[in-house]
Amino acid sequence: MAAVAAFAGWLLRLRAAGADGPWRRLCGAGLSRGFLQSASAYGAAAQRRQVAHFTFQPDPEPVEYGQTQKMNLFQAVTSALDNSLAKDPTAVIFGEDVAFGGVFRCTVGLRDKYGKDRVFNTPLCEQGIVGFGIGIAVTGATAIAEIQFADYIFPAFDQIVNEAAKYRYRSGDLFNCGSLTIRSPWGCVGHGALYHSQSPEAFFAHCPGIKVVVPRSPFQAKGLLLSCIEDKNPCIFFEPKILYRAAVEQVPVEPYNIPLSQAEVIQEGSDVTLVAWGTQVHVIREVAAMAQEKLGVSCEVIDLRTILPWDVDTVCKSVIKTGRLLVSHEAPLTGGFASEISSTVQYYRTQGHVPNKAKRWNLKKGLLQGSSKENGHLLLKMFCMTGQRIQRTKC
Amino acid sequence: MLAAVSRVLSGVAQKPASRVLVASRHFANDATFEIKKCDLHRLEEGPPVTTVLTREDGLKYYRMMQTVRRMELKADQLYKQKIIRGFCHLCDGQEACCVGLEAGINPTDHLITAYRAHGFTFTRGLSVREILAELTGRRGGCAKGKGGSMHMYAKNFYGGNGIVGAQVPLGAGIALACKYNGKDEVCLTLYGDGAANQGQIFEAYNMAALWKLPCIFICENNRYGMGTSVERAAASTDYYKRGDFIPGLRVDGMDILCVREATKFAAAYCRSGKGPILMELQTYRYHGHSMSDPGVSYRTREEIQEVRSKSDPIMLLKDRMVNSNLASVEELKEIDVEVRKEIEDAAQFATADPEPPLEELGYHIYCNDPPFEVRGANQWIKFKSIS
């Protein structure tokens, strides 16, 4: 509750700071130090240790894909893998400890059903696993590799970036490893510390040739994973590990696809666009509800879903409508993917695609009024490029 | 004899009457034991098959092993009480490895291992208090409460590393520094049977052999890499031969004297400038991989029981010492009691010590002077980063 409260509290504090206070200091060249230091007034509150929580918000039961069943995230992943192995006779699943079901139980029952030739363990060697997977994919078979935790993906970074991503290009489309999908548990879980909590999507976003996908729920996970497996490009599918058990939803039993590179507008709004992916989507949904209730702010919530290549159009269209953008992610701020989103939106704004209208808060009435171009410019800068990380104390 | 008598006289009043009997009994000063011959790879001779154990050394090893054992069991207890959080990898069953290795090297030699490091942290010189406080994340801990179970460090002990296999090239580097400094030091680089399949280990073997680095590569083979048995993970389970061009020894890791002799042999080999050497310690862990692993889904309880009853390192040493009159059962029991008390006190401290202050959250990210500010979870939360 507190992280959500902190987020909303931050919105409140900005409003309380007054349209004149910090904004005036911003007039002139760019963001001044005064802007950043204004928070010291709220220093004590900001420094307080935050126990984070989020509440998983399930989507309504989908009706267009046939019969559904209650599943959590790891069961949805198992279902997707089951569908893939059934449909595609060349599909194989491999990784550390996948044979008995995996450390998060994502592959339970698959070895018994499809045989030990199709679901098998590898030794402890991430670079070997991905390199091996690229080899399988190059011959045309479907390779679904698991890296036990996203924190361990770095020995395989060279294989992914230098081999998998560039195979099609460097061979002039003669060869490709498009049938490779790498699945990995991702994101903070509370007690993971340095090596069981990382969100490395930004490292991979820097590399053309691969696709990076992060689902927010079981229904999304199954559809997106099936799309990744069928996609003719090497894909990395990050599964928020904290949602493996916490997220429960009605998920169709039959296979279905959710298109990649399409962001989803979960909730329409008119005052500010909130963008997130994975676990954070549930945090900002709660924030949107709080903002509506307490501040009368109508937030448009977007789940980015595919990090690379990302859906620029949906996000820009939304910012055209609202005039403000806020991006939230678990990964570190500096160089995090939010910086890419905000700079792209800024670019389109300077090109005139995103008009320079922005609205100013009216403190007393909580209503928005038209304002000068200058204030609009400053507000957009203000709201761009923030990232929040869930801080956890005990859990 | 006199020492024993004076010990009694200076002892505390509540010591039982049997103490007097114990003190007046005559113990042997040392005894010779036969130890198992090591399998050799690319070596003409191995470590000796007999060794002399003095009473003093025997008591010292017994105390150290018992301390490690009780410390791990206490950590287990604290974890179940949720006083220790996060991850916790225990090494009970492998005490002969850490104590035996320490017995074969000097305190000026270097050691680096992976995450099952509590035993090594103790044998390398830290107190149980500091170790338990680090596990509970308090400021009295050896890494000031910021490292936790997997990140404990001490003088000439380089951790405590979370990523499997990553510590081996580091160990080769430390060995290079030893050679460069010319102080006749060696570096013990440990890894497990699971990590033995990582590519970077072979890179380290090559560099160490090429440049004749004084590096002792030690594979602590406890038969299971997390839940995968060695037969299912490795094409060759002769880990002591995996160094190929590096000579190797396979050592009974449950017998502390065997480990000690092998370590002395390996250290002498490295110190003579012949280059690296590989040791495989065949050992066993009673607990699962970590506290979240019950440890029985991939091995039978019978197997664990069998190892406990036949090859427990503490039991083996105790039997040897008692049977050759180096110590008595009562004396060793007394050591048990003292160790238990020491661990209790340490656990008390670890539970009561305060956590590190929030201001220290951003410290030591970089080495920097003057201190700078680091952003927290949002841009308005700032932490000072001092180093």
To the nearest whole angstrom, how far is the Cα of A117 from the nearest Cα of chain B? 14
A390 pLDDT exceeds 90?
no
Catalytic residues of A: 126, 196
- A vs B, Cβ pairs < 8 A, gives 83
What was the pLDDT predicted at A382? 33
CATH at residue B148: 3.40.50.970
Q: What is the ipTM of this complex?
A: 0.79
Do both B285 and B369 map to the same domain? no
- Asked whether residue B8 is assigned to any structural domain, the reply reads no
Residue B87: its chain A contacts at CB < 8 A? 191, 193, 196
What was the pLDDT predicted at B344? 97
A383 pLDDT exceeds 60?
no
Q: Do B164 and A124 touch (CB under 8 A)?
A: yes
What was the pLDDT predicted at B374? 84
Do both B202 and B347 map to the same domain? yes
- Asked whether residue B370 is assigned to any structural domain, the reply reads yes
What was the pLDDT predicted at A354? 62
Do both B329 and B203 map to the same domain? yes
A10: closest chain B residue by CA: B380
Q: Do A391 and B226 touch (CB under 8 A)?
A: no
Which B residues, 158 through 187, put their C-beta within 8 Å of a C-beta on chain A?
162-165
Do both B382 and B319 map to the same domain? no
- Asked whether residue B207 is assigned to any structural domain, the reply reads yes
Do both B58 and B138 map to the same domain? yes
A13 pLDDT exceeds 50?
yes
A380 pLDDT exceeds 80?
no
Q: Do B232 and A394 touch (CB under 8 A)?
A: no
A96 pLDDT exceeds 90?
yes
- Asked whether residue B116 is assigned to any structural domain, the reply reads yes
Among residues A249, A294, A216, the alpha carbon closest in space to that of A75 is found at A249
Q: Which one of A98, A124, A152 would you mutate to disrupt binding with B, by most B Cβ within 10 Å of its Cβ?
A: A124
What was the pLDDT predicted at A27? 33
What was the pLDDT predicted at A3? 53
Which residue among B85, B228, B378 places its CB closest to the CB of A121?
Answer: B228
- Asked whether residue B97 is assigned to any structural domain, the reply reads yes
Do both B302 and B377 map to the same domain? no
Q: Do A6 and B378 touch (CB under 8 A)?
A: yes
Do both B260 and B304 map to the same domain? yes
Q: Do A390 and B233 touch (CB under 8 A)?
A: no
A6: closest chain B residue by CA: B378
Do both B177 and B99 map to the same domain? yes
B86: closest chain A residue by CA: A191
What was the pLDDT predicted at A386? 31
What was the pLDDT predicted at B377? 74
Instruction: Divide the 387 residues of chain B into consecutive groups of 10 and give the mean pLDDT of each group.
Output: 55 49 72 95 95 96 97 96 92 96 96 96 96 94 91 92 93 96 96 94 96 97 93 94 96 96 97 96 96 91 96 96 94 96 96 91 84 79 83
Among residues B194, B121, B198, the alpha carbon closest in space to that of B156 is found at B121
Structural domain of B98: 30-356
Do both B261 and B318 map to the same domain? yes
- Asked whether residue B287 is assigned to any structural domain, the reply reads yes
Q: How confident is the model at residue A49 (pLDDT cuts 50, 70, 90)?
A: very low
Its pTM stands at 0.81
A31 pLDDT exceeds 50?
no
A311 pLDDT exceeds 70?
yes
Do both B167 and B313 map to the same domain? yes
A120 pLDDT exceeds 90?
yes
What was the pLDDT predicted at B3? 55
Do both B183 and B313 map to the same domain? yes
- Asked whether residue B18 is assigned to any structural domain, the reply reads no
What was the pLDDT predicted at A5? 55
What was the pLDDT predicted at B179? 95
Do both B275 and B367 map to the same domain? no
- Number of domains present in the structure of chain B: 2
What was the pLDDT predicted at A24? 34
- Asked whether residue B3 is assigned to any structural domain, the reply reads no
Q: Which range among A186-195, A382-391, B216-225 shows the weakest confidence by mean pLDDT?
A: A382-391
Q: Do B85 and A191 touch (CB under 8 A)?
A: yes
